Amino acid sequence: MAGGRRRRQHFSRIHAFSCGKASFKGEHSLIGGPGFSRVVHCNDPDSFEAGVLNYGSNYVRNTKYTLATFFPKSLFEQFRRVANLYFLLCAILSFTPLSPYSALSNVLPLVLVIGVTMGKEALEDWRRKKQDIEVNNRKINVHRGNGVFDNAKWMDLKVGDIVKVQKDEFFPADLILLSSSYEEAICYVETMNLDGETNLKLKQALDATSNFPEDTSFQTFKAVINCEDPNANLYSFVGGLQLEEQQYPLTPQQLLLRDSKLRNTDFIYGVVIFTGLDTKVMQNSTDPPSKRSKIEKRMDKIVYYLFSVLVLMSFIGSIFFGISTSEDLENGRMTRWYLRPDDTTIYYNPKRAPVAAILHFLTAVMLYSYLIPISLYVSIEIVKVLQSVFINQDLHMYYEEADKPAHARTSNLNEELGQVDTILSDKTGTLTCNSMEFIKCSVAGTAYGHGVTEVERALAWRKGTPLAQEVTDEEAQVEDSTEARTSVKGFNFIDERVTNGNWVNEPHADVIQKFIRLLAICHTAIPEVDEETGGISYEAESPDEAAFVIAARELGFEFYERTQTSISLHEFDPISGRKLERTYKLLNILEFSSSRKRMSVIVRNKEGKLLLLCKGADSVMFERLAKNGSEFEEQTKEHINEYADAGLRTLVLAYRELDEEEHNEFNMEFTKAKNSLSTDRDEMIEEVAEKIERNLILLGATAVEDKLQSGVPECIDKLAQAGIKIWVLTGDKMETAINIGFACSLLRQGMKQIVISSEGPEIKALEKAGDESAVAVAFKANVLRQISEGKELLTTSSENSEALALIIDGKSLTCALDDDVKDMFLELALGCASVICCRSSPKQKALVARLVKIRTGNTILAIGDGANDVGMLQEADIGVGISGVEGMQAVMSSDIAIAQFRYLERLLLVHGHWCYRRISSMICYFFYKNIAFGFTIFFFEVYASFSGQAAYNDWYLSLYNVFFTSLPVIALGVFDQDVSARLCLKFPLLYQEGVQNVLFSWIRILGWALNGVLTATLIFFFCIRAMDHQAFRKGGEVVGFEILGTTMYTCVVWVVNCQMALSINYFTYVQHLFIWGGIIFWYIFLLGYGAMDPSISTTAYKVFIEACAPAPFYWLLTLFVLVSSLIPYFTYASIQLRFFPMYHQMIQWIRTDGQSDDPEYCHMVRQRSLRPTTVGYTARFEATSKRFEERSEGH
């Protein structure tokens, strides 16, 4: 239908809003004042007036760097690491005579480390840049003048441009709707990327602009819009349009937001009012943060402590050196004659001993730099990149259906995946598939539908569940039925008693007929006929409404046409057995709202009867039943409870017949309320509807499955068993969010709910009075009261060990996040087993993430799939984007992208645990080997009278961390496993080792540091005592300085590599190659480097081949020192494993003893729970069993 307009449909008569009509009362009087100063010259963006305003371009970027800022910002990132800053200082000093080693051997490793890390940062940011280029270069039709529209790039749009958006295209900026392909200038918009909702929103242009049906209409169009300044509020807009000297008020009804999508409308025309960073979606986003893991931050603290030790050692050494130097020349006698104190440089001048001591301090600061591992950072970078490759290539996280693997977009946070304390999850598209399925119903007190929900299936397979066989039988029955029919999206109802017209044989066939007819009529869906196939699809305002219409069609009542005054069906006639066309005159629609919790339609049938058809939540429907209309109430309530326990969304269906006089009176009041322009218009409509929606006759209830993504309940259960808390933050209504909470077992029957809601009678009364300041004060007091009551309930439940759930809506959350309230709110939230925040704006999601992260200090993971989740993903310690069906905004701003929520289980419990363990062990070992090496240098300094002489050759020093000991650590960081992936998932509690940081605690770090000092002590003193006066070579020569250095270095290389071999849990050929290869490479290096010219090899010249290798003492001493140095660690590890095993060691026992399949033994290990599981289907099953036992005892 592109190019033409659709026929007029009087939606103002169908929907309870006044089409394009409003007044300049209230907020519109603020236009032109502070905060409302934006002026848009429509269709004239290049005019002088528009140019003076200088609004921003439509270019957006999500990158961390630009070309200009990359080097300064990236260098800042590198040198904010204290170790790199220290090494830079040492590199500068290495060019002075103070240096104890050559400049080249010092500068080269630093340049390598910084270069590799900056290259990695550049590569990651380039990927983000490519995604930005794709978005900014999308095409859109823009008016170029004279009624001609031409393609332009999104980034070239200006404020005031007229654009034409086609069906299924995204809006390139924030627009004001001018007209559309419908005559009444309406359009349907999908805002999933903004608020997570999949239901379509109806927008309508002003009457004044609705008569611009085609491109040429804009040839002479000129108008001026005055409106609010850019802000983050998605749900409000205040503005006015001046057209031909007439003023028209603009409301959110005309606002089309960037990143929402045009649906069910061939095209629209709109004028750009906010571009780029001024758009509401970008106002809700934050700059990409520079995230660092908690382990890396603690690692910096260790470096600070080591640096403090280094300075202390240098200070002590310089004092002793100063004293010794001052005593070198007394009364013409020389104590250390070999230094020639009577003819020396300033560095050893006894007459200027204080200066010599200060200069020695600088030399010592450089010499002891090997205490701090320069290759630590670059090694960790390499390991994290390789870990990310393994994450990306994990076939268990590959979604074959959409061909989407997991994608670690940044590798900085791998170990954080093993320390997550709280998950903040979006709902729509993250937990759910955005599809509803009609699965069961209760009609006339009889339950129909054999379908098994995911929650029932998950519960049934728990060990000891009596339903298991029953559910298995039902599933088999369902599978047999589904083989015979083709799958229909939205309809998963199997019951031969009702399908294929068999309902006519049921005892209450007349009630079933009314029930299905109500489903086909009571809605606001629009039918779309496929011209090629003739099939009918439906565009509905909510996915469950679409499921009802589809269910009615499948059961014989096909809705096929809607006009402004009628609804037409193909109805199954029980008498003739054929389908008949029936038209119902549509008189009124009473819309659904979160306060009403129901919707109704009033129609006149062919016989002239007036019918009110109503569907709504059980909490409001049962109280509206007539005395003679509640025949099936008890059975229906029982079925509803069963459905709710199975995680299904339920609605109650009822009807009544109206007489003419009652309807005429209602219609007059309803029309008057609809056309009212006062602030309490909605309340007036509700009051009128309340009067007629009573004395209803109950028909039954529907049960719709808000289809969870595959594996969500199981995943949440595993994460809950691992001790991870899960919060849901959604833009959806409270009822929807609660239903999903039940579906994925975050909520369960019997769990007390603390509901903090903005819907209260006293608040509504104040809003009616129009006193905004009084409303704000009362509203905050109301929220505080509800939080205080919740805290009291929390105290009571803690004594009774009951689990609580906190549910809060968006308005209340705004108050709860105020500075003086947020601590109370957080205390309450942290005490609850589940937290669900409804109607949350993107900004609120980000603020909640910030609050939990900062106040608890724990690791927070946020997961979402839409642009509305970007702020939350960036604010959390880890942002996980779901690469779902709609848009890539969340993925572009995330740290890790996965295709399905269920992959979070493996990402955290397997990869997270492994990465945390590997990085922790790797860092501890790094500091151990460098302390062991650095203290041998210090002890030699003491032995050599703090002369500043290095114990080892320059290149021995430089290559220690690069070649001889680094590769085994990298192998540890990439390949080591304490337990297998299968056991990680079987014993999810193992994950708590990371949450509680037991593998990188200060005690563990200190233990490794002491081990390093002990190793250095044993190596140095054994070597020095054994070689001090001992004849070493055949000719009787004693050991020289170069032989002592080489022997000590050999012992260090052997000990630290064998220590690594003892620490590894899971050997691969790579580890063997790197550990033993590192030792062999040391000997090869000695041969090669020693063979070079003495001017190059200096003290290493032929030291191995001529001195060390021929001497048996060299080999015996190496073996003796090796064994002696490893005995302390081996003894400690054996005692700890035998008497104080850690959780992973217990699981290793199970695997070693072959008891991993012994249920009793595994259960005993699981009982070492660090916190009780309060959510998930395991907790749900335990709670149900407990209730059952209590009932049994009661009887």
Measured distance between the N- and C-terminal CA atoms of the chain, rounded to whole angstroms: 68
Closest CA to 142 of 275, 236, 6: 275
* Per-residue CA distances from 404 to 192, 883, 1029 (Å): 21, 8, 69
Angle between helical axes of 82-93 and 353-367 (0-180°, round to 10):
130
More confident site: 665 or 342:
665
More confident site: 467 or 185:
185
Run of H or E including 48:
helix 48-53
Helical ranges in 907-1040 per DSSP H? 913-943, 954-959, 966-975, 981-986, 992-995, 1002-1027
Which residue is it, tokens 């009982």? 1167
What's residue 352's pLDDT?
79
* Per-residue CA distances from 556 to 9, 528, 536, 537 (Å): 27, 18, 14, 15
d(CA 680, CA 766): 11
Closest CA to 338 of 348, 330, 346: 348
d(CA 84, CA 221): 62
More confident site: 26 or 842:
842
Which SS3 state, helix, strand or coil, does residue 272 take?
strand
Is the pLDDT confidence value at 269 over 90? yes
More confident site: 162 or 966:
162
Range in 199-208, 600-609, 919-928, 1086-1095 the model is least confident about: 199-208
SS3 of 149-179: the string is EEEEEHHHCCCCCEEEEECCCECCCEEEEEE
d(CA 730, CA 427): 6
Q: What is the mean pLDDT of the chain?
A: 82
Q: Using pLDDT thresholds of 50, 70 and 90, give the confidence band for residue 1053.
A: very high
Bridge pairing between strands 752-756 and 804-808:
parallel
Which SS3 state, helix, strand or coil, does residue 713 take?
helix
User: What's the whole-number mean pLDDT along residues 1170-1188?
Assistant: 55
Paired residues of 174 in beta bridges: 274
Give how far the C-alpha of residue 1053 lies from the chain's centroid of Cα atoms, to the nearest Å: 43
What's residue 1126's pLDDT?
94
Q: Using pLDDT thresholds of 50, 70 and 90, give the confidence band for residue 342.
A: low
- Ranked by mean pLDDT, the top range of 42-51, 276-285, 374-383, 690-699 is 690-699
Is the pLDDT confidence value at 171 over 90? yes
d(CA 94, CA 111): 14
Q: Using pLDDT thresholds of 50, 70 and 90, give the confidence band for residue 483.
A: very low
Contact, 325 vs 347, CB < 8 A?
no
Residue 20, token pair as written in the block: 């394009």
What's residue 720's pLDDT?
86
User: What's the whole-number mean pLDDT along residues 730-736?
Assistant: 73
d(CA 1159, CA 273): 65
User: What's the whole-number mean pLDDT along residues 721-731?
Assistant: 87
User: What's the whole-number mean pLDDT along residues 808-828?
Assistant: 87
Which SS3 state, helix, strand or coil, does residue 654 take?
strand
d(CA 952, CA 1086): 13
More confident site: 769 or 385:
385
User: What's the whole-number mean pLDDT along residues 84-101?
Assistant: 82
Q: Using pLDDT thresholds of 50, 70 and 90, give the confidence band for residue 331.
A: low
Contact, 953 vs 1098, CB < 8 A?
yes
Contact, 73 vs 251, CB < 8 A?
no
Which residue is it, tokens 């050494």? 317
Range in 446-450, 572-576, 1017-1021, 1157-1161 the model is least confident about: 1157-1161
Closest CA to 902 of 732, 718, 745: 718
User: What's the whole-number mean pLDDT along residues 559-577?
Assistant: 85
For residues 246-284, b (16+ Cβ closer than 10 Å) or e, as one string? eebbbbebbbbbbbbbbebbbbbbbbbbbbbebbbbbbb
Question: Phi and psi (nearest 5°) for 331?
Answer: 55, 40
Range in 17-26, 46-55, 1138-1147 the model is least confident about: 17-26
Q: CB neighbours of 593 closer than 8 A, spacing ≥ 6?
A: 682, 686
User: What's the whole-number mean pLDDT along residues 868-886?
Assistant: 82
What's residue 764's pLDDT?
65
* Per-residue CA distances from 631 to 627, 659, 698 (Å): 8, 23, 7
pLDDT digits (tens, 9 = 90+) for 572-611: 888 887 888 999 998 988 888 767 788 999 999 888 899 9
Is the pLDDT confidence value at 908 over 70? yes
Is the pLDDT confidence value at 951 over 90? no
User: What's the whole-number mean pLDDT along residues 872-880?
Assistant: 89
Question: Of all residues in the chain, what percent carry a pLDDT higher than 90?
Answer: 23
d(CA 611, CA 315): 94
What's residue 17's pLDDT?
41
User: Does 771 qualify as catalytic in the annotation?
Assistant: no
Burial of 525 (0-12, 13-18, 19+ CB in 10 A): buried
Which SS3 state, helix, strand or coil, does residue 802 take?
coil
User: What's the whole-number mean pLDDT along residues 847-875?
Assistant: 87
What's residue 169's pLDDT?
92
Contact, 1151 vs 987, CB < 8 A?
no
What's residue 1129's pLDDT?
92
Amino acid of residue 126 = W
Q: CB neighbours of 470 closer than 8 A, spacing ≥ 6?
A: 460
pTM of the model: 0.72
d(CA 96, CA 102): 10
Q: Using pLDDT thresholds of 50, 70 and 90, give the confidence band for residue 805.
A: confident
What's residue 889's pLDDT?
66
Which SS3 state, helix, strand or coil, does residue 129 take?
helix
Residue tagged active-site, from 44, 426, 809, 978: 426
- Ranked by mean pLDDT, the top range of 77-81, 92-96, 182-186, 900-904 is 900-904
SS3 of 12-48: the string is HHHCCCCCCCCCCCHHHHHCCCCCCCEEEEECCCCCH
DSSP 1031: B
Contact, 729 vs 426, CB < 8 A?
yes
Paired residues of 538 in beta bridges: 527
For residues 1058-1068, b (16+ Cβ closer than 10 Å) or e, as one string? bbbeebbeeee
User: What's the whole-number mean pLDDT along residues 881-906?
Assistant: 80
Is the pLDDT confidence value at 471 over 50? no
Is the pLDDT confidence value at 517 over 90? yes
Is the pLDDT confidence value at 1003 over 80? yes
Run of H or E including 727:
strand 725-729
Which SS3 state, helix, strand or coil, does residue 681 take?
helix
Helical ranges in 464-542 per DSSP H? 468-483, 509-521
Q: CB neighbours of 661 closer than 8 A, spacing ≥ 6?
A: none
d(CA 600, CA 521): 10
Is the pLDDT confidence value at 44 over 80? yes
What's residue 370's pLDDT?
81
User: What's the whole-number mean pLDDT along residues 750-779?
Assistant: 73
What's residue 479's pLDDT?
46
Contact, 1163 vs 986, CB < 8 A?
no
What's residue 861's pLDDT?
93
User: What's the whole-number mean pLDDT along residues 953-975?
Assistant: 85
Contact, 262 vs 168, CB < 8 A?
yes
Closest CA to 900 of 886, 884, 876: 884
Question: Phi and psi (nearest 5°) for 589?
Answer: -125, 125
What's residue 1191's pLDDT?
53
Is the pLDDT confidence value at 47 over 90? no
Range in 703-717, 747-761, 962-976 the model is least confident about: 747-761
Q: CB neighbours of 847 closer than 8 A, spacing ≥ 6?
A: 817, 875
Q: Using pLDDT thresholds of 50, 70 and 90, give the confidence band for residue 467.
A: very low
Closest CA to 906 of 982, 846, 803: 982
Is the pLDDT confidence value at 173 over 90? yes
For residues 201-217, b (16+ Cβ closer than 10 Å) or e, as one string? bbbbbbebbbebbbbeb
Is the pLDDT confidence value at 81 over 70? yes
**Composition of the chain by helix, strand, coil, percent to 5:** 50, 15, 30
Angle between helical axes of 294-326 and 353-367 (0-180°, round to 10):
150
Q: Using pLDDT thresholds of 50, 70 and 90, give the confidence band for residue 798.
A: low
Q: Using pLDDT thresholds of 50, 70 and 90, give the confidence band for residue 919.
A: very high
Q: Using pLDDT thresholds of 50, 70 and 90, give the confidence band for residue 286.
A: low
DSSP state string for 747-772:
S-TT-EEEEE-S--HHHHHHHHHT-H
Side-chain half-sphere exposure of 1070, counting CA atoms within 13 A: 11
d(CA 144, CA 1038): 93
d(CA 463, CA 1177): 12
User: What's the whole-number mean pLDDT along residues 1145-1167?
Assistant: 62
User: What's the whole-number mean pLDDT along residues 922-927?
Assistant: 92
What's residue 468's pLDDT?
43
